[in-house]
Each structure stands twice: as structure tokens, then as C-alpha cells.
Amino acid sequence: MPTKLPPLTTFCRQCGWKKSLPPMGDVIMGLPERCPQCGNPDLQLKPSSLLESALRVLTEVAKK
């Protein structure tokens, strides 16, 4: 049975870039293959903190 994933944050340990991703059901979508700032292919993935999730939502609202 599919379960909903928590919000996730992908980040680069090399340059500090990060992006929070909203949950999209039981599939992780929208993960970059490389860091868009430095090109590092070794991106890390972790559950988003409450602050990271709130900032992602506020950023999306501000774009509209």
C-alpha cells in the first residue's frame, strides 16, 4: 500500500545549495541529477525541517 512521503530537502555538501521538495504521493519527483550551482553529482536527500517546509510554501505563494 502506498504511503505519503514527508517533504524532502535535497542539498549539496560542496557548495551549500539546497531545495525543498513537496510530497507528491509515494514517488520522489523533481530531483536534480547535479547541483545547479557547482555541478556536484553527489547530492544528499533528507527529510525537510519545519522551517524548510514553511519557507518552500512561502516562496511558492510569493511567486503567484
Q: Where are the domains of the chain?
A: 8-16+37-63
Q: Which residues does residue 9 pair with via DSSP β-bridges, in sequence order?
A: 20, 46
Residue 1 has pLDDT above 60, yes or no: no
CB 34 within 8 A of CB 12: no
Mean pLDDT of 1-9: 75
Task: Give the pLDDT of residue 60.
Answer: 78
Strand order in the sheet with 8-12: 18-21, 8-12, 43-47
List, for residues 41-64, the tens digit of each pLDDT value.
Answer: 999 998 888 888 788 778 878 877
Q: Which residues does residue 21 pair with via DSSP β-bridges, in sequence order?
A: 8
Q: Give percent of the chain above pLDDT 70.
A: 95
CB 11 within 8 A of CB 43: yes
In this prediction the pTM is: 0.67
